[in-house]
């Protein structure tokens, strides 16, 4: 049985006049690429921010690697987990190498010296994410897909084994979507990391992810494999419209509106 990366029990989050998450109980498996899906406003990004400790839940319990979130020291959590928001901070005037090096902050702090181990981690991260050739270029001169790979390299340099990604392909064309998701999948399967990723595109979810959590109105609709996801009745419950599932010659499932 796959170990739980996150264990979530009775999780709710309220804001004035609205409940964003409603009594979620689920387990996210370790060592896999886990998708959070659902329509706009379903609570996907809110759940990811709770896991990243960006926002606090109103009720319930969340544990990461068997320890309650509140019991983690900030630096220890930053060393174990990296979070990439939907809108990345500006990197104006920064070289790729400089941005990737920011991932070393949890290990040496703002005033710490950047030593050989830090330099090695940055070089290894750029190589793994295929951005070493851009090391001395300005981040702002790169394409959208290249920039996303640079941000992923920063997370790799952080040496966190768990990655939280909020809609990392939403502004990319299809070719760069495939490129980024292929990289994340390889980071999980070949390098032993775990990833929890918010996605809108159900067919990309089915193609690249191992495990799916679907939300609707802040509530859990389904969790399980992509095979369990790609069924017309399940998709209709998640998205609220009739869907049909077609099969390509290679057996790959593709969902389209009915």
Please give the full DSSP string across 157-177, using - where no structure is assigned. HTT-SEEEEESTTTTS-HHHH
Chain length of the chain: 258
Distance CA 195, CA 80 (A): 12
CA distances from 41 to 38, 46, 61 (A): 8, 9, 22
**What DSSP string describes 122-135?**
HHHHHHHTT-GGGT
Its pTM stands at: 0.92
What tens-digit pLDDT sequence spans the chain (258 residues)? 457 999 999 999 999 999 999 999 999 999 999 999 998 889 999 999 999 999 999 999 999 999 999 999 998 999 999 999 988 888 889 999 999 999 998 887 666 778 889 999 999 999 999 999 999 999 999 998 999 999 999 999 999 999 999 999 988 899 999 999 999 999 999 888 999 999 999 999 999 999 999 999 999 999 999 999 999 999 999 999 999 999 888 888 999 998
> Domains in the chain, please, with CATH?
31-53+73-227 (3.40.50.300)
pLDDT value for 246: 93
Estimate to the nearest angstrom the gap between the alpha carbon of 17 and the chain centroid. 28
Burial code of 155-181, b = ≥16 C-beta within 10 A, e = fewer? bbbbbbbbbbbbbbbeebeeebbbbbb
Estimate to the nearest angstrom the gap between the alpha carbon of 187 and the chain centroid. 12
Of 144, 145, 109, 146, the C-alpha closest to 135 is 146
Distance CA 116, CA 26 (A): 41
Pairing of strands 59-64, 67-68: antiparallel
pLDDT value for 1: 47
pLDDT value for 87: 87
> Positive or negative CA dihedral for 124, 209, 99, 174?
positive
Helix axes 174-189, 144-157, angle to 10 degrees: 20
């Amino acid at each position: 049985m796959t170990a739980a990366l996150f264990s979530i029990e009775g999780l709710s989050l309220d804001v004035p006049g609205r409940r964003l998450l409603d009594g979620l109980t689920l387990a996210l498996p370790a060592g896999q690429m886990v998708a959070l899906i659902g329509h706009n406003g379903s609570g996907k990004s809110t759940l990811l921010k709770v896991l990243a400790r960006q926002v606090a839940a109103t009720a319930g319990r969340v544990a990461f690697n068997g320890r309650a979130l509140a019991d983690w020291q900030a630096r220890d959590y930053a060393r174990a987990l990296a979070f990439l928001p939907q809108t990345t901070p500006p990197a104006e005037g920064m070289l790729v190498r400089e941005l990737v090096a920011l991932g070393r902050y949890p290990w040496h702090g703002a005033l710490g010296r950047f030593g050989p181990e830090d330099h090695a981690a940055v070089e290894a991260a750029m190589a793994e994410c295929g951005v070493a050739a851009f090391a001395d270029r300005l981040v702002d001169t790169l394409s959208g897909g290249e920039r996303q790979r640079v941000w992923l390299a920063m997370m790799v340099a952080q040496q966190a084994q768990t990655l939280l990604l909020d809609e990392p392909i939403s502004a990319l064309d299809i070719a760069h979507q495939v490129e980024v998701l292929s990289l994340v999948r390889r980071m999980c399967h070949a390098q032993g990391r775990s990833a929890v990723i918010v996605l809108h595109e159900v067919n990309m979810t089915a193609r690249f992810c191992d495990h799916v959590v679907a939300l609707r109105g802040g509530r859990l609709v389904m969790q399980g494999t992509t095979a369990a996801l790609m069924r017309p009745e399940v998709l209709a419950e998640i998205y609220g419209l009739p869907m049909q599932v077609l099969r390509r010659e290679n057996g790959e499932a593709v969902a389209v509106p009915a």
